[in-house]
């Protein structure tokens, strides 16, 4: 196919992508989010190859993983994770974990409501959700830009803060959703010194980010 190599460099298919990732690759903001809000026993629902289970186990959490991809589950088990293949339902007992993680999962699910109901069934305390932020599209398009996650071929949902909160309130009695992982406010400026300055000013909150890459949510089950 003409341009096939360009397509492969731009678009991603996460059905196979994570099998190529080393076991120590995790996103530090997601780890920090989990440490702040999770209980001591955690189900990583959509665990892929188990990287977060491995990392959080080393921090003292009791971890279980579950995924619909048997190949990913096999790799997770080879890494020492108690990983389970999801069939018609998640293979965990009711109220068997303090916390259920849904990290970067809901955007891949055509109909997320049944999965959220399963998460609530299993969690004793809360469900922690992260998903790419897809708001402010009109502002980005004025710059000829879109969020990177629009290139993921298997994304089915594109959430704004409002739409994610609306979805979660259909399953959980108490929900809090916020934007995080602000982008460098000077990322589009030419020259590394200006971009570095923007990163520093952003971290000091002198210049607020213009856009946010990720949404975070804490959904309490009772």
With vertex at residue 157, the alpha carbon angle to CA 25 and CA 136, rounded to the nearest 5 degrees, is 90
Question: Which residue ranges of the chain lie beneath pLDDT 70?
Answer: 1-13, 143-146, 148, 150-151, 184-192, 194-207
Alpha helices by DSSP H, listed for the chain, are 4-10, 14-17, 28-37, 51-58, 70-78, 113-122, 137-142, 161-169, 192-203
Q: What is the pLDDT of residue 205?
A: 66
Backbone region of residue 67 per phi and psi (left: phi > 0; alpha: psi in -120 to 50; beta: other values): beta
Q: What is the pLDDT of residue 155?
A: 82
**In order of start, what are the domains of the chain with their CATH numbers?**
4-220 (3.40.50.150)
As given in the structure block, the two tokens for residue 87 are 């069939």
Q: What is the pLDDT of residue 13?
A: 67
CA-to-CA distance for 130 and 171, rounded, in angstroms? 16
> What rounded mean pLDDT belongs to the chain?
87
Q: What is the pLDDT of residue 164?
A: 97
Query: pTM of the prediction?
Result: 0.87
What tens digit of pLDDT does each residue of 174-207 get? 999 999 987 765 565 566 675 566 566 566 666 6
Q: What is the pLDDT of residue 1?
A: 45
CA-to-CA distance for 48 and 64, rounded, in angstroms? 12
* CB neighbours of residue 173 within 10 Å: 10
């Amino acid at each position: 196919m003409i341009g096939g190599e360009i397509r492969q460099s731009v678009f991603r298919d996460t059905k196979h992508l994570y099998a190529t990732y080393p076991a120590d690759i995790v996103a530090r903001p997601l780890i920090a989010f989990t440490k702040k809000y999770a209980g001591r026993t955690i189900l990583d629902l959509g665990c892929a190859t188990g990287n977060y289970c491995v990392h959080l186990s080393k921090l003292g959490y009791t971890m279980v993983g579950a995924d619909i991809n048997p190949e990913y589950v096999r790799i997770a088990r080879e890494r020492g994770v108690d990983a389970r293949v999801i069939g018609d339902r998640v293979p965990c007992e009711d109220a068997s974990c303090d916390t259920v993680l849904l990290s970067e999962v809901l955007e891949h699910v055509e109909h997320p409501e049944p999965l959220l109901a399963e998460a609530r069934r299993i969690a004793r305390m809360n469900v922690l959700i992260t998903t790419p932020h897809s708001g402010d599209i009109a502002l980005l398009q004025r710059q000829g830009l879109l969020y990177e996650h629009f290139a993921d071929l298997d994304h089915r949902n594109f959430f704004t803060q409002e739409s994610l909160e609306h979805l979660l309130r259909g399953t959980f009695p108490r929900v809090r959703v916020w934007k995080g992982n602000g982008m460098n406010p000077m990322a589009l400026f030419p020259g590394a010194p200006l971009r570095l300055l923007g990163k520093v000013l952003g971290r000091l909150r002198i210049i607020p980010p213009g856009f946010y890459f990720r949404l975070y949510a804490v959904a309490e089950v009772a």
